[in-house]
Chains A and B, each alone.
Chain A
């Protein structure tokens, strides 16, 4: 019993320490991102590179995937609603589930798997190989040059990818629900439903949620990578594993909180 208690205490301490590091780094990143003095040509260049690798490189493929996914989703919702004689609610259902919930989460998960894992690995290796100290020795602040631009670039990328995908999904929803069956819904209904779903609070929650997703997919991997012990290369996979698991739960928690704010 004592062993179990000790184990739980130890795990709890590690858990709270890890999350306190994440929140501390997130606070530093937010303050840093809002400080004009942080930016110079070198940092802007790293931000641009991060946006290129995180958003621009995957934009065509991911948008195509989201378009296909949206088609399937809209078709399923439309057909099911039609079967139950509730077709007039299909659009609202699509927007509420697909646009407000699934797409932002899907985008964040994709960026987390692709970029978050890469950032986690890179930061862990930099820490292991003492690259941060080497940068400091030549007068380069690693936080300003290597870490903060990744947070800014990653967050902007999640924001842009999500917005692009939302626009595509709305167009697809419009085409599939109205244009294929224009007799089912009165004209102007699309704008009315959009206005109804995207009211002030929903837009605010959506914006905050996407921003939180963007911060999470960069801040958590960086924080976990920075916690890697120096010169212990075998620790790199463990750091990535921990970062990814923590990130997954953080994304889910953000999503649940956003749903709770809107619907509970």
Chain B
């Protein structure tokens, strides 16, 4: 497992699926952003985010909405706030999943196989931009990707 030595954001290079699963299972406390973790299909993006916050912290709906809206503003995606999962494009769906994980401030965020989440996007650059916008919202972020995608990250310096 090769790791990019950034303190808060790390790209964890994996040799295969078994290693990926083991890593995910060994960090149950991490907010997982993954293709295998779908949004609630009959809720909007904003509701997906606020639902988690309300349930975990018993926040008032208005307050939860404000926080959800603020997070969407940070990543410049307020336009998709009222869309539901089937109407979202890959980037919007990714952002919704990421914010759902970020909103409760977990000790760690794990972005699982971004190539699968963002097939139509130059994802290393997109991840860099999005995570920078949410820099104050998480303590640590691991990007789980396969070793054969390593050149994509290296080319970004």
Whether chains A and B associate is yes
Query: At the interface, yes or no: A138 with Cβ under 8 Å from chain B?
Result: yes
Partner of A41, one of B32, B38, B58: B58
Query: At the interface, yes or no: A64 with Cβ under 8 Å from chain B?
Result: no
Q: Tell me, in angstroms, the Cα distance from A206 to B104 when the chains sit together.
A: 46
> Which of A4-12, A85-93, A128-136, A156-164 participates in binding chain B?
A128-136
Binary contact track A141-176/B, C-beta < 8 Å → 1, others 0: 100110000000000000000000000000000000
User: How many contacts A-B (CB < 8 Å)?
Assistant: 58
Q: Tell me, in angstroms, the Cα distance from A42 to B60 when the chains sit together.
A: 9
Q: In whole Å, how far is B31's beta carbon from the nearest beta carbon of chain A?
A: 7
Q: Tell me, in angstroms, the Cα distance from A139 to B101 when the chains sit together.
A: 10
Query: At the interface, yes or no: B41 with Cβ under 8 Å from chain A?
Result: yes
Binary contact track B10-41/A, C-beta < 8 Å → 1, others 0: 00000000000000000000011000111111
Q: Contact at A42–B40, with CB atoms within 8 Å? A: no
> From residue 95 to 119 of chain B, which have CB atoms closer than 8 A to chain A?
100-101, 104
> Known contacts A45-B54, A45-B61; is A138 also within 8 Å of B31 by CB?
yes
Q: Tell me, in angstroms, the Cα distance from A139 to B31 when the chains sit together.
A: 9
> Known contacts A137-B32, A138-B31, A138-B101; is A40 also within 8 Å of B37 by CB?
no
Q: Using Cβ atoms and an 8 Å threshold, which residues of chain A touch B82? A: none
Closest-by-CB residue of B relative to A40 is B58
> From residue 100 to 142 of chain A, which have CB atoms closer than 8 A to chain B?
122, 125-126, 129-131, 133-135, 137-141
Q: Tell me, in angstroms, the Cα distance from A146 to B21 when the chains sit together.
A: 27
Q: Contact at A125–B60, with CB atoms within 8 Å? A: no
Q: Using Cβ atoms and an 8 Å threshold, which residues of chain B touch A45? A: 54, 61
Closest-by-CB residue of B relative to A146 is B40
> Known contacts A40-B58, A45-B61; is A139 also within 8 Å of B40 by CB?
no
> Known contacts A41-B58, A140-B52; is A122 also within 8 Å of B37 by CB?
no
Given A45-B61, A140-B51, A140-B55, 10 extra CB contacts under 8 A:
A41-B59, A42-B51, A126-B41, A131-B40, A134-B39, A137-B37, A138-B32, A138-B101, A140-B52, A141-B55
Chain A residues within CB distance 8 Å of chain B: 40-43, 45, 122, 125-126, 129-131, 133-135, 137-141, 144-145
